[in-house]
Structure 1
């Protein structure tokens, strides 16, 4: 494959591989192509294999739904203590799997094998700094609820969690307070909560995989193009790693990479600039990712902000209210990191996120190339010690 520019790379790769679900043939083939392309400019390229259970990231919702529904049934039969315990279990599974990324029930899902592609570019002189430019090359399932309905879907999901929490509170009160007023209200919340959780479970994802041009193959093309440029015009004292991550859509991939490199990353005080969905109206330099309870490095944020400003980019700095990225895993493990998202002015979400319309024809070439320039500028800032 001839690499002419980031968007052209995305078009050719999707033509050859199609969608790239975690552990699929498409993902494996895409990884091989990326490996070959990195070999043309990086000083060394490695495939880092790992095993995970990707479906645990989304399909845990069926465990949450099961325990909530069983808990509701016990309440209707007059067992509020058992009901409370089961609803607590259902909410803990949600929190552990979705917010804390703890993989507590992943054992119930099938294993797959994936690999990251890591290309290293050496500096002209001493390796004083280590910068990682990262993006992911897997693609997601279609999201009927969140992808199509976007912020309305997010609102419905948050409302579902709220209803579940209220039903839990009422169930706990019923244990200690014998009142005829609690039961009718609790019945209403349990019925509503059951219906809403079932709706979320059914429509959270479909069986179809999306092309994933903007999320996140365009970002892979951007950082690889940055790598090509850096190999021709090398930093003085900064080693740069170009990291194409497999398995961001289940958030297990970057965790495995960090575990394998944690000692070196901390010893060398590495800094990670992670790129997501670059084809947008503006860039959001994220100070935190609230869904994953991760706060990013203020230093990394400041450097990327300076890079965006000097690149004449349209950008904002602030928290990511919903969604998440591999940057969260780096930050939670104590590595200096920040993620930059390309978002829509319309609703502050990525264009065509987790839908079948996330195709190369819908990419904004100027924004994809601008994201590359921002990351190149960030490397320059670090290399010059500004």
Structure 2
């Protein structure tokens, strides 16, 4: 019995290793074909279409679900905060502590709303982009005993290059 379990585990590891290699190879092919894929970019949309085409050959249905977002708000909010901070400091040096306190309080409140409570406070200052989720359903061949949900990102992260230059 124990030998059977170990053999089964070895077979699963081989299957997992093979699937991992195929997934990494497909990821590399998508990167080579489309390059960087910032959310809302044409490359990101083309990657979503390529993934949908892949899924259409395997699944009953594969679809693109559009949604809108403002991706620059997440990585550029600090520009607004830096400006508000400098205004607050300038007001302090000009002998206006109440005005400085209000500006700095606004800065901390806005950052807290955006990143603590996930309210889209800064978003209104940045352009809206259309992004796409790719969905697909693989119907079972036999009796359904469990449901597997796979999730991932086909967009790439925006790099903050300031640290790379100054470290």
TM-based fold match above 0.5? yes
SS of the equivalent of 1:135 reads: coil
Superposition deviation, residue 96 in structure 1: 2.2
Partners of 1:65 and 1:90 within 8 A in 2? no
SS of the equivalent of 1:20 reads: coil
Aligned residues: 146
Deviations 1:60-96 (A, max 9, x none): 1111111111111111111111111111111122222
Superposition deviation, residue 19 in structure 1: 0.7
Superposition deviation, residue 144 in structure 1: 2.4
Q: Which has the higher strand share?
A: 1
Deviations 1:198-255 (A, max 9, x none): xxxxxxxxxxxxxxxxxxxxxxxxxxxxxxxxxxxxxxxxxxxxxxxxxxxxxxxxxx
Once residues 57 and 116 of structure 2 are traced to their aligned partners in structure 1, the CA distance between those partners, rounded to angstroms, is 39
Mark the structure with the bigger radius of gyration: 2
Matched, 1:16 2:33: yes
The residue that corresponds to 1:125 in the other structure is 143
Q: Which consecutive unaligned segments of at least 5 residues does structure 1 have?
A: 154-386
Superposition deviation, residue 112 in structure 1: 0.9
RMSD in angstroms over aligned alpha carbons? 2.3
Superposition deviation, residue 104 in structure 1: 0.9
The residue that corresponds to 2:161 in the other structure is 144
Query: Which protein, 1 or 2, shows the higher relative CO under an 8 Å CA cutoff with sep ≥ 6?
Result: 2
The change in CA–CA distance for 1:102 and 1:131 in structure 2 (over 3 A counts) is farther
Once residues 35 and 86 of structure 1 are traced to their aligned partners in structure 2, the CA distance between those partners, rounded to angstroms, is 47
SS of the equivalent of 2:66 reads: strand
SS of the equivalent of 1:5 reads: helix
Deviations 1:169-192 (A, max 9, x none): xxxxxxxxxxxxxxxxxxxxxxxx
Q: Which consecutive unaligned segments of at least 5 residues does structure 2 have?
A: 1-18
Q: Which has the higher helix share?
A: 2
Per the normalisation by structure 2, the TM-score is 0.77
Per the normalisation by structure 1, the TM-score is 0.35
